[in-house]
Amino acid sequence: MRKKDNFAGTLPGTGKSLVAFPETYVVLDLETTGLDPERDQIIEIGALEVVRGKRGRTFSTLIQPRTPLSGHYVSPFITQLTGITDDMLAAAPQPRQALEAFGKFLGSRVAVGYNVGFDMGFLQQQFQTQLYRPLANDWVDVLPMAQTLFPLWDHHRLNNLAAWYKVENKEAHRALSDVETTETCFRKLKEDAARRYPSLEAFLEKVRQKMEGKNEGQQLSLW
């Protein structure tokens, strides 16, 4: 599913986008019923903690969304894409229960993900509507880093980066598998940037410049 432009950080009290290589963070990914955080819903959260550069615990849960008028939790397209079925979601936790558990796992740590503004937009919306509090965590997006390091690529999907670094994503479009793939690619990208640039800070400054260009109307290709 192609991820729509995000509105992460637009709700009061939410975090901000960082350009950094943190040592401690949580990699996260969502599966959703669609692309609009105000209309669509989260059906799966996957997360992996990295503590001082080392992988730690994982978090994974399905979430039962509201049933639309069609009587189905997810469309046939989403089931085909993710493998997540109505039967799986019928037994899944309710949104408030799942989000509370995820919030405890995430804590105050920085979130990292691939086009993670999309995911943060959904989480910020759901924290506000389900838990009645903002999600204040800052986040780091791996996508503009990949776009900066590989400017000549036609596409910058996660699977493009994974193929370049020879990382196998065994269950693409399942949240935890995407998270594990993202974490490995993020680590390899950092090592790659350190070899190609005079310093990591020089690379990060290049990423900031690219992102500022996007904000000024020079649209970055997500795909």
The DSSP bridge pattern shows strands 42-51 and 111-113 to be unpaired
Active-site residue, from 72, 155, 156, 173:
173
Residues in the chain: 223
- Is 148 in contact with 175 (CB distance < 8 Å)? no
Q: What is the CB neighbour count within 10 angstroms for residue 179?
A: 25
Which are the contacts of 192, defined by CB distance < 8 A and separation ≥ 6?
Answer: 149
Active site residue 173: yes
The region that residue 38 occupies, defined by phi over 0 for left and psi between -120 and 50 for alpha, beta otherwise, is: alpha
The C-alpha atoms of residue 22 and residue 69 are separated, in whole angstroms, by: 44
Return the active site residues.
Answer: 173
